[in-house]
Amino acid sequence: MPITINGTTGISGVDGSAGTPALIGSDADTGLVFAAGQITASLNGSAANVPLVAGSAIATTSGTAIDINTAIPSWVRRITIAYSGVSLSGSAHSIIQLGAGSYTTTGYASTGAYAGTANSAGVASATNGLIAHGGSATNAFTGTMTIVAMGSNLWVASHSGALNTTIGVMGGGSITLSGTLDRLRITTTNGTDAFDAGSITLLYE
């Protein structure tokens, strides 16, 4: 396994494998493996993927859909989406749609609920995506959604957070895809209300 050190391009040729990692600790079978699109930790010859953040925050300030196309590695088993002040131009809710080759737009079982300081409460459901309750023109959503693989292309989600500073939100949902997850879209329940504020960040594990 030749390793190249160049003052201009850096270090290359350090791919390795789980059994013979490129960078090792005191144990010859413990270290890091570098491969296309991922960094893998080797622990006694077995691979475990290192969480990756999908770049910088993605603005949710315009448009009715934001696509993360074919950017999700096949090894991903958990996705965390962090929302910061995400709001919409109308009364719809933001949703996450997953896909395998194309986006799945039906068959979701997803519900969110909220409760506020003035004893107000409400529930919203969606079958076209994993709902993050709120995010309307007057209710900016800040919180997280976690989507976890359960096997056989079944993905289960939960979310929690706040609308503005006075309303708590929580919920969950699920979807079974036709194949291996490779894309993610943040859009809205009605498909016409536009994003007008905030940002999201993705973490892959």
Closest-CA residue to 1 (of 22, 24, 31):
22
Pairwise pLDDT comparison (71 vs 204), residue with the higher score: 204
pLDDT at position 100 over 90: yes
**CATH 2.60.120-classified regions of the chain:** 52-204
Q: For position 73, what pLDDT does the model report?
A: 85
Closest-CA residue to 96 (of 143, 55, 50):
143
SS3 label, residue 74: coil
CA distances in angstroms from 40 to 12, 18, 29, 107, listed in the order given: 16, 8, 13, 34
Band of pLDDT at residue 205, cut at 50, 70 and 90: confident
Lowest-pLDDT range of 12-21, 93-102, 103-112, 184-193: 12-21
Q: For position 74, what pLDDT does the model report?
A: 86
Check if the beta carbon of residue 46 is closer than 8 Å to that of residue 37: no
The first and second tokens of residue 60, run together, are: 């949710």
Pairwise pLDDT comparison (180 vs 52), residue with the higher score: 180
Pairwise pLDDT comparison (173 vs 29), residue with the higher score: 173
Residue where the block lists tokens 């693989």: 149
pLDDT at position 54 over 80: no
Determine how many CB atoms are found less than 10 A away from the CB of residue 149: 16
SS3 label, residue 139: coil
Pick the CATH number of 52-204 from 2.40.50, 3.40.50, 1.10.287, 2.60.120: 2.60.120
Instruction: Report the percentage of the chain scoring pLDDT > 90.
Output: 54
| Distance in Å from the first CA to the final CA of the chain | 28
pLDDT at position 118 over 90: no
**Residues forming beta bridges with residue 111, ordered by sequence position:** 125, 172
pTM above 0.85, yes or no: no
Check if the beta carbon of residue 146 is closer than 8 Å to that of residue 79: yes
CA distances in angstroms from 111 to 41, 128, 144, 169, 205, listed in the order given: 36, 11, 15, 11, 24
Q: For position 126, what pLDDT does the model report?
A: 96
Check if the beta carbon of residue 135 is closer than 8 Å to that of residue 114: no
pLDDT at position 177 over 80: yes
User: Average per-residue pLDDT in the chain?
Assistant: 84
Q: For position 34, what pLDDT does the model report?
A: 66
CA distance 72 to 149: 13
Band of pLDDT at residue 75, cut at 50, 70 and 90: confident
In this prediction, residues 19-44 reach a mean pLDDT of 65
Check if the beta carbon of residue 100 is closer than 8 Å to that of residue 180: yes
